[in-house]
Amino acid sequence: MTEGQEKPIGEMSFEEALRALEDVVRNLESGEVPLDDSIALYERGEELRKACQARLDAAQARIEKIVQGPDGKPSGTAPFDAEG
């Protein structure tokens, strides 16, 4: 994707957002990006980081709510916002 045609973060999968964040970090670490562009890249990187973290937090919450059957073995999952 060329600059100016970046996919909106809300439409990215976790993997796409992570790859985009890695690209931002690589560009910033190169030291070849002008200051104004670096600031814009940093802002996008922060938004990508937040999106990735939110997805990881949601996944962790789902895993923590695995429902155990009477035998103590996992029998499914419950919504993470359900009362336990």
State the pTM of this model: 0.69
Q: Which pLDDT value is given to residue 69?
A: 62
Domain ranges of the chain: 9-77
68 pLDDT more than 80:
no
Q: Which pLDDT value is given to residue 50?
A: 97
How many helices and strands (H and E) does the chain possess? 2, 2
Measure the CA–CA gap between 1 and 7, rounded to whole angstroms: 8
For residues 60 and 11, the model is more confident at 11
What backbone torsions phi and psi does residue 77 show, to the nearest 5 degrees? -130, 160
79 pLDDT more than 80:
no
Q: Which pLDDT value is given to residue 3?
A: 46
pLDDT, one tens digit per residue, over 18-49 is 999 999 999 999 999 999 999 999 999 999 99
Kindly report the CATH number that applies to the domain delimited by 9-77. Answer: 1.10.287
